[in-house]
Chains A and B, each alone.
Chain A
């Protein structure tokens, strides 16, 4: 296994505000890695450190080179962080994923346009390429953002809450698409969500990021009834229906 990202006893935060400490884990090439936790627990801080837009307060974070060039991330942000006021078409949005490779002072060439079309086809929305991004459904928007990340030809695909606010069918379709990208394209995937259900049946390894708590492990080792009940301080049941893992949390009514 080739390590791509290594955290060694890192403390993460902003200025004097510590968000996470004693963080040590490794993400290897080919991993399908989930990060689960409530909003504000530190998932975004972790992501920023991985993406290089935030430096750790202490400790070490190593981002290893991939082949001969720096590790390239394909980042899919939360949809609601994007302002939809300007009517960019789907392919204009995907082309933004090529801007780094195109370089300053240069314009997109045929090669870039081919990659954009290929990326749109890969996520099954090539027919929507001339549609305004802002007029697409939540699921279609998410596919455009995934296509944009793929257009940068990344070694690691990072998705921040990709199923947020989606209906059930769109959510499953996006989860299946990400699974396909991991399985067929051998992409290393980091999937950030606040929903345990989103990662339970897809990722191989998971990090639970909670207030003052951080745990990393194989999905079957972390998502156990004992571990989750202890973590969430309530009875949690992990069961299987038709081969899929289902997590049920008992509420105050004792269910």
Chain B
């Protein structure tokens, strides 16, 4: 496949002549890991389906619990994050650092929205329906499967944030390790922004659900909202251009390996969505 690319006269990002396989080691490692993760998710999905085949007495009807429109929305968000991730890899292979950063940021935001929806869904299931890890076999297998996927998404977001911050490493190393301290502060700001924005968004949604308006939200969660705005300002400050960076086309394989992981998270959801959610509306008892 790579020889085809080479004959077209383009830079070949899919071939590494220095390895015996001709595949960059980082990419090969990621494919091997994803192959093993297939088996991991295969067993989790099988366990969920096996227990759904023979539900014990008192198992809640998932159709009464699921909000399929919300789950479809989060599926759409994850698909769009996959698109942005693919575009980030494409930009990095072109050496376009600014676009790569924008696409990485978009992927992070969409990933956070997906996680936020999942947190909202879990909290709603626990409080409105009493569905917990130990309340029923359905609760155990459902939370284990979708929760494991959620943890994969969270790890992916962490990786994306680290790669985004890595893209600011200056080419000029005259200030020693100063950029590391700036990177750590950048990461702390990012983490605080992610947690606080999720909290603020969920507070807004719960406020609306309880029949409260924006005035109630601002009177009770103004500090959280103000914190989000302040942290956003901090992120914009960190993103200010400070000269040439040590990040570009040479890092394309790193971004691509991360992209492979992110797309894998997406394909796992492509299987979970119909099997765990949609099938409930068709045949499962």
Q: Do A and B bind each other?
A: no
CB within 8 Å of A: which residues of B? none
CB within 8 Å of B: which residues of A? none
